[in-house]
Structure 1
Amino acid sequence: MKPGMRLVAAACFGVFSMAALIADGASPALRAPVFGPRPRFLFTHEELDAWRADPAKSNELAQIAARAEALLSARRAVPDREGQWIFYYACPADGARLRPESPLAHRCPVCGKMYTDERTVAAWRTLVFNELDSEVRDMGIAYGLTGDERFAARAREILLRLAALYPSFERHDRWGRTGLLAVVGGRRYSQLLDEACGVIQLAAGYDLAAPAACFSDGDRRLIEEKLLRLIARETGLFQHFIDERCNHQTWFNAAYAAVGLVTGDEELMREAICGSRGLMFQLASSVTDDGLWYEGAIAYHFYALSAIQTTLDAARRAGWDFSSNGRLKSLWEGPSKISYPDGSLPVFHDSDRASLANYRSFFEWAGRYFKDPVLAAMGRGDFASEDRKPSAVLADTGIAVLRRNSGKDAVCAMMDWGKHGGAHGHPDKLNMVLYALGRELALDPGRISYSVPEYRTWCRTTAAHNTVVVNGADQDESDGALLHFEETGSFVSCLAAADRAYPGLRLSRWLLLTDGWLLDVFAVEGRKSSEIDLLFHCRGEVGGAEDFAPLEKPLEGSGYGHLKNIRSAPGRKEAAFEFRQPDGRSLRVTAAGDEGGVFLLGEGIGYTLNDRVPCLMRRRKAASTVFVTLYDFGTDGGPNRLDLLHGEESGKELPPWQAIGVRVSGERGSCVAGVDFRQNPSGRAKVAGHQIRRMAFCFEEPRR
């Protein structure tokens, strides 16, 4: 079949199959939905009456009315042409959001450059459409609370104009494709996702305003059929070109639920919940057993969760309740498992810097829906227990969370070894982040912004992460495996491996965390010589590199061009660096076994383009090697000394990438730790006389 015919066939399949999918996926536990009188989505008449009668709500009511009056005065026109991807409304040079000087001219507030091209102008129209969607919702709420017909009339005006325009808009996507070729595009917007998000707002405002006398029966039929249901139908037509697990589908489902509830469409309601791509399907396929969204990015976890809450709100209005579903509830419990001691969250994959406190409204919602006191407390901002949580293995997600201590001495290290994360995953297998000294130290930059080239040329490179880069190339997309996890009263430890990150190479990383330090042993095993770099991106003012000299030539490799102010020094048997923090404390980093290699010190990009973060790189030329690092928090009488020990088996010395030992010595004594990296350890390997089954740890006599 020709490609064009294949597209047509897929589209036809979508339109003819929706009813069948609903029937096939329908749950016998779902009775017929109840469609009460309008309004029935955001608020009911009883809820609006209670709001008006509550003296505590008087200020909020006045603010809503004032905003509606301001919107009436502004009377923004509805664009008569399509929009484009919102991230195109930014300056490519610095990522700054543009500012309109006229509908056809848009200036960067940072560099001053003016943009007049059609793509930028169309992206601005998307902003206008977004504002109009919100205006319809806000006008509906204002009418529902005040009864002022002017607000309902404005909502009607926008809705009728959109209903007239929408069928004439050309289907398009953000890559320039149009018509049937724009299979993941939209009409008003450049992607189905935005169409779904927009129609939810329109449906919510329409539901509140439609009872007003200014709406005729003909108006209601036109808005429901030529706008709300049309958007929902076209979304259903093309949804099969989208990964059914991803957050886009979650918003499609929310749109079906919202439009279905508002228009009284039972088929759409059932599609949202039990269709072949509905909520029940996504709970089974898109939610890990750890309660985290499969894409591995906390930003997309809550983005999907927002859509799920919309779906559940609509379902609840129709008489469907899912509060007893434990897997559903886990979505609000999961993020706490990977939070740092201060409640902030690691920025894995396509995510942004955030904390649990940023998502209080989600926990507040969940506390009400599930009637759960712990979630309700989080909704009130009670995150006091975050620094006292136990270590954990999020096996389905593929993250090991190592924790020690509490309060100001709390430390936490995490290693990402598992699922790649789909379209929002990064090539960063065995990436490590670290929280100590009251803040995040070793970081993952996340996504910065989709608007800037650095998203591709930095964020989505292996070099931007705290892991190994081989021959300057990015890792392949792959999943790793956890080989060992152990927690005792003295330490917590994990060992993970990745066999497919680079062809012909096996990567293994062992972390061992105590109250006072983190031991990090990274082994690379291969057959032919390669250039192997271990990168460490850490906040602080770096000390211990006074003898480093400026590098004459720029580094070559994926992402390496963004490393600035690079200095270098020959490697040595042991080197110590300090990353000094603003409060005077320091993270002391001891690197061992680098003789014959090179140290490189520069600055990479953090959470924004202007956020420069020190990067320590250790480079070796070898087929196989082991990087040993001790991160000393300075809380147990340090500094500590690091000595490497050979692993042996049956009287023969083992290569260090198969088994290795380390002695850590300080003022309070010393300890020996060892690990067997092999896929199938024999259990007979030893380090300093101590047997290693998978790993070993023991205290030696304290110093006198």
Structure 2
Amino acid sequence: MTRFAFLLAGSALLATPALAQTASGTQPTLFRAAEMAATAKEATAYPLFNAELKRVRREVDKAIKAGVVVPVPKDPGGGYTHEQHKRNYTAIYGAGLLFRITGEQRYADFARAELLEYARLYPTLGNHPAASDQRPGRLFWQSLNDAVWAVYAVQGYDAIRESLSAADRATIDDKVFRPMASFLSAGQAEEFDQIHNHATWACAAVGMIGYTLRDKDFVEVALKGLKRDGKFGFLAQIDQLFSPDGYYVEGPYYQRYAMLPFVLFARFIEANQPEQKIFQHRDGVLLKAIRTSIQTTYDGFFFPFNDAMPDKSLKTDELYQSVAIGYEVTKDPALLSIAQWQGRTVLTPDGLMVARDLAAGKARPFPFASQFLSDGPKGEMGGLAIMRSGPTDTDQVLVAKNAAMGMGHGHFDKLNWILYDNGHAIVTDYGAARFLNVESKDGGRYLKENETWAKQTVAHNTLVVNETSNFGGKWKVGDKLAPKQLFWASTPQATVSTAEMTGAYPGVRYRRTLIQLPVDGIESPMIVDLLDVTGDKPATYDLPLHYAGQITAIGFPLQSNTAERPVLGKANGYQHIWVDATGTPTEANGAVTWINDNRFYTYRMLAPAGASVILGESGANDPRFNLRREPLLIERVTNATNAQFVNLLEPHGNYDAGEEKTTASNSRVKGFTHVRTSDADVITIRLADGRAITLAIAFSADANAAHSATVDGRKLDWKGHFARFDTGKGN
């Protein structure tokens, strides 16, 4: 055994009785004295942990130098008082850990002084003055932030509580944490007894306070809800917010955010009530959720579905904690490679184990892979189809969002898709209209444009009917309906997803097949997109594509708006679209090429007969410049009952700015055709080098059904939903 005195709490506490305590009831409930006895000198043995020790020291020493500053709450997100209370909970947490690691009394003294000042302030507070449409907190404008404060601060308190006098403990217990736990639970019953990430944070805060104060009532309420019947509370949230694959209902961005209270509170439960077997609950769904969080990233950044910020990556405290705790429980060496990429760990025994095993060379590559992640507590609400061209997180990835609504943070984008290639987002999703914690932008709250643009269907890459959004823009209606995943397969020939949506629009059913198609000699796989729409009456069908890049070529004539810039519509997101040009492509010339970084992308359209194409940009009717200006194109067909949109996206070529050299800037596709037979769609891609690739997509998803079609005099026979036929050179 190493001389390093950290021992992991979970493994050391397997015999600990429920809510165990010392005679005085003050010993830390998570990281106990025997496990947290290492000296600062010993803590420098492993580079990653040593770096974190230095970082936390710098931050806490800076806070100590600034003195105890606990202002009366006043500001919304991003404002001075908001940010100061955030700094305080981080400092209390860090000081507690430093005290346990180094034994330096000054850290305990600082955390004590901070908490005693909160004991003076907290009893005087009512609802936060900047609260708006959110559940008001007391320290912060929304009670969610109060719960976050408690989750961090109670860990720092847990670490120093044993060192305090009985009087100080009683003051902090009874004037900070006990009333805070009461406020976050019974004091906000409608917020606490629900299934949502806000309630997850509140349950974690109340439960961790309960363990620290040895208050069984708080623990019981946190686990089972205010009525203690299990309909709400932490265990119900694990059961209802995650699918069997560990996919979180609100999407990857909020999965990142919610993971911290889930895994931290689970860590407390494991340390104090191991008989709960919390990490084995629901077939280990919390551990699956850690891996799923990682799988829903490209180059470390989360897929920006729903109310997401595009700049959030695995380099965030939620995932530092999740990776460390997940590794302690599973010893999965693939998690070490993620910690290595993060370049950070946490100042806990779990973080020490990560640093120690990284230093020992135990890391293995994380297995990024094509997979279908089901959504819904039973896996019955569609899901996320992730198609990767290779085993690393920087290989091309196509994501079909065939998932559930995602509650109030969900967007109206059934059967949406995005694409990353060559290190960049190519087919994009706007995510949220928000400047997080930027006070000048509505206090860091979601902007009104989040409702008028970001959530609306036209802001995404999916079908819009009559310039309206899915479910009439009502998320509670959308929460009851989800796409049906009809087919999923990943083979060396192609990765294929087919899903269907009924109920997003009255009388309209639409089915979408997305294919990631590797082709020898092409830089990255092509993407084939088949959208089939069936309606009960004539309508206008729009199919937007939001792309990142600069147009270099357009195959069809345009009518450009050079003297003025008209707006496309009046509502449902259309009021935010400038129209730059329109055109009417034919089967022969329906192509747009753009460049992103050093690679070209040609988007070929086989739109319905008579369809037009609108080239535009977001940002109209935005007087406060809240929206990003991003390009889009829309394929539009009017007065149609049924329609098929068939599209092909081809990555190709290279532009070398240093050498001033361009290669293969023209598409390698010579022809692109679509034929509909009695029971299948057949798409043929003809390449300039003479090769041809034919894709057959049957209407039926039955794997055993036999199909036959004759296209251009050639008979095709196959079994199942999808088949690929290659002809020409090399075949």
Is residue 137–residue 202 contact of structure 1 (8 Å, CA) maintained in 2?
Answer: yes
Distance 1:150 1:51, change over 3 A: closer
- Alpha-carbon distance between aligned partners in 1 of 2:420 and 2:124, rounded to the nearest angstrom: 53
TM-score, normalised via structure 1 length: 0.78
1:521-577 CA distance string (max 9 Å, x none): 112211322221111112222122384333452110422333346222123234122
What's the secondary structure of 2:513's corresponding residue?
Answer: strand
**Which AA in structure 1 matches 2:18?**
A
**Which AA in structure 2 matches 1:34?**
A
Hey, what does 1:333 align to over in structure 2? Answer: 291
Hey, what does 2:12 align to over in structure 1? Answer: none
**Which AA in structure 1 matches 2:156?**
G
Hey, what does 2:271 align to over in structure 1? Answer: 317
* 1:510 to 2:488 alignment: no
- Alpha-carbon distance between aligned partners in 1 of 2:53 and 2:66, rounded to the nearest angstrom: 20
* 1:40 to 2:28 alignment: yes
* 1:588 to 2:602 alignment: yes
Superposed, 1:461-610 pairs within 5 Å as 461-476=456-471, 477=478, 478-516=481-519, 517-545=526-554, 547-551=557-561, 553-556=566-569, 557-564=571-578, 566-574=580-588, 575-583=590-598, 585-604=599-618
Hey, what does 2:338 align to over in structure 1? Answer: 378
Hey, what does 1:75 align to over in structure 2? Answer: 67
- Alpha-carbon distance between aligned partners in 2 of 1:492 and 1:193, rounded to the nearest angstrom: 40
Is residue 648–residue 687 contact of structure 1 (8 Å, CA) maintained in 2?
Answer: no
1:698 Cα shift? 4.2
- Alpha-carbon distance between aligned partners in 2 of 1:59 and 1:403, rounded to the nearest angstrom: 34
Distance 1:504 1:147, change over 3 A: same
* 1:263 to 2:206 alignment: no
- Alpha-carbon distance between aligned partners in 2 of 1:641 and 1:148, rounded to the nearest angstrom: 73
1:171-220 CA distance string (max 9 Å, x none): 3586548xxxx8x33333333322221122332333334444xx542332
Is residue 68–residue 114 contact of structure 2 (8 Å, CA) maintained in 1?
Answer: no
1:629 Cα shift? 0.5
Distance 1:346 1:308, change over 3 A: same
Is residue 40–residue 317 contact of structure 1 (8 Å, CA) maintained in 2?
Answer: no
1:153 Cα shift? 4.3
**Which AA in structure 1 matches 2:419?**
L
1:78-126 CA distance string (max 9 Å, x none): 223x44542xx4xxxxxxxxxxxxxxxxxxxxxxxxxxxxxxxxx5422
Is residue 676–residue 685 contact of structure 1 (8 Å, CA) maintained in 2?
Answer: no
What's the secondary structure of 2:677's corresponding residue?
Answer: strand
- Alpha-carbon distance between aligned partners in 2 of 1:555 and 1:610, rounded to the nearest angstrom: 16
- Alpha-carbon distance between aligned partners in 1 of 2:295 and 2:115, rounded to the nearest angstrom: 43
1:272 Cα shift? 3.4
**Equivalent of 1:282 in 229, 237, 250:** 237
- Alpha-carbon distance between aligned partners in 1 of 2:85 and 2:720, rounded to the nearest angstrom: 58
**Which AA in structure 1 matches 2:91?**
E
Hey, what does 1:644 align to over in structure 2? Answer: 674
Is residue 579–residue 614 contact of structure 2 (8 Å, CA) maintained in 1?
Answer: no
Is residue 28–residue 162 contact of structure 2 (8 Å, CA) maintained in 1?
Answer: no
Distance 1:129 1:615, change over 3 A: same
Is residue 508–residue 677 contact of structure 1 (8 Å, CA) maintained in 2?
Answer: no
Hey, what does 2:475 align to over in structure 1? Answer: none
What's the secondary structure of 2:39's corresponding residue?
Answer: helix
1:572-625 CA distance string (max 9 Å, x none): 234122121222x212211113552211112347xx967543312111102221
Hey, what does 1:366 align to over in structure 2? Answer: 326
- Alpha-carbon distance between aligned partners in 2 of 1:691 and 1:648, rounded to the nearest angstrom: 14
1:442-468 CA distance string (max 9 Å, x none): 121222424433322222111121111
**Which AA in structure 2 matches 1:541?**
Q
Hey, what does 2:255 align to over in structure 1? Answer: 301
Runs of at least 5 residues in structure 2 that lack an aligned partner in the other structure: 1-14, 342-362, 435-444, 472-477, 520-525, 620-624, 654-663
Hey, what does 2:198 align to over in structure 1? Answer: 248
1:35-89 CA distance string (max 9 Å, x none): 2464515643334431335161788767655644533342354223x44542xx4
**Which AA in structure 1 matches 2:195?**
R
- Alpha-carbon distance between aligned partners in 2 of 1:204 and 1:367, rounded to the nearest angstrom: 20
1:228 Cα shift? 0.5
Distance 1:42 1:447, change over 3 A: farther
Hey, what does 1:291 align to over in structure 2? Answer: 246
Hey, what does 2:636 align to over in structure 1? Answer: 619
- Alpha-carbon distance between aligned partners in 2 of 1:143 and 1:632, rounded to the nearest angstrom: 57
Moved more, 58-67 or 283-292: 58-67
What's the secondary structure of 1:672's corresponding residue?
Answer: strand
Distance 1:631 1:270, change over 3 A: same
- CA root-mean-square deviation: 3.5
Superposed, 1:665-704 pairs within 5 Å as 665-666=686-687, 667-677=689-699, 686=709, 688=711, 689-690=715-716, 695-699=721-725, 701-702=727-728
TM-score, normalised via structure 2 length: 0.76
Identity between Structure 1 and Structure 2 (%): 23
Hey, what does 1:423 align to over in structure 2? Answer: 408
How many residues are matched? 618
Runs of at least 5 residues in structure 1 that lack an aligned partner in the other structure: 1-28, 90-122, 650-658
Hey, what does 1:459 align to over in structure 2? Answer: 454
**Which AA in structure 1 matches 2:558?**
F
1:302-354 CA distance string (max 9 Å, x none): 221111222123224325253444222111122344444x4544211122334
Is residue 544–residue 577 contact of structure 1 (8 Å, CA) maintained in 2?
Answer: yes
Is residue 648–residue 685 contact of structure 1 (8 Å, CA) maintained in 2?
Answer: no
* 1:231 to 2:231 alignment: no
Hey, what does 1:664 align to over in structure 2? Answer: 685
Moved more, 464-473 or 49-58: 49-58
**Which AA in structure 2 matches 1:256?**
V
Is residue 578–residue 587 contact of structure 1 (8 Å, CA) maintained in 2?
Answer: yes
Moved more, 35-44 or 490-499: 35-44
Distance 1:538 1:210, change over 3 A: same
Is residue 96–residue 157 contact of structure 2 (8 Å, CA) maintained in 1?
Answer: yes
What's the secondary structure of 2:304's corresponding residue?
Answer: coil
* 1:348 to 2:361 alignment: no
1:363 Cα shift? 1.8
Moved more, 141-150 or 201-210: 141-150
- Alpha-carbon distance between aligned partners in 2 of 1:499 and 1:619, rounded to the nearest angstrom: 21
- Alpha-carbon distance between aligned partners in 2 of 1:211 and 1:486, rounded to the nearest angstrom: 56
Moved more, 683-692 or 480-489: 683-692
- Alpha-carbon distance between aligned partners in 1 of 2:574 and 2:308, rounded to the nearest angstrom: 21
Is residue 484–residue 694 contact of structure 1 (8 Å, CA) maintained in 2?
Answer: no
What's the secondary structure of 1:294's corresponding residue?
Answer: coil
**Equivalent of 1:188 in 122, 130, 139:** 139
Distance 1:75 1:487, change over 3 A: closer
- Alpha-carbon distance between aligned partners in 2 of 1:305 and 1:337, rounded to the nearest angstrom: 14
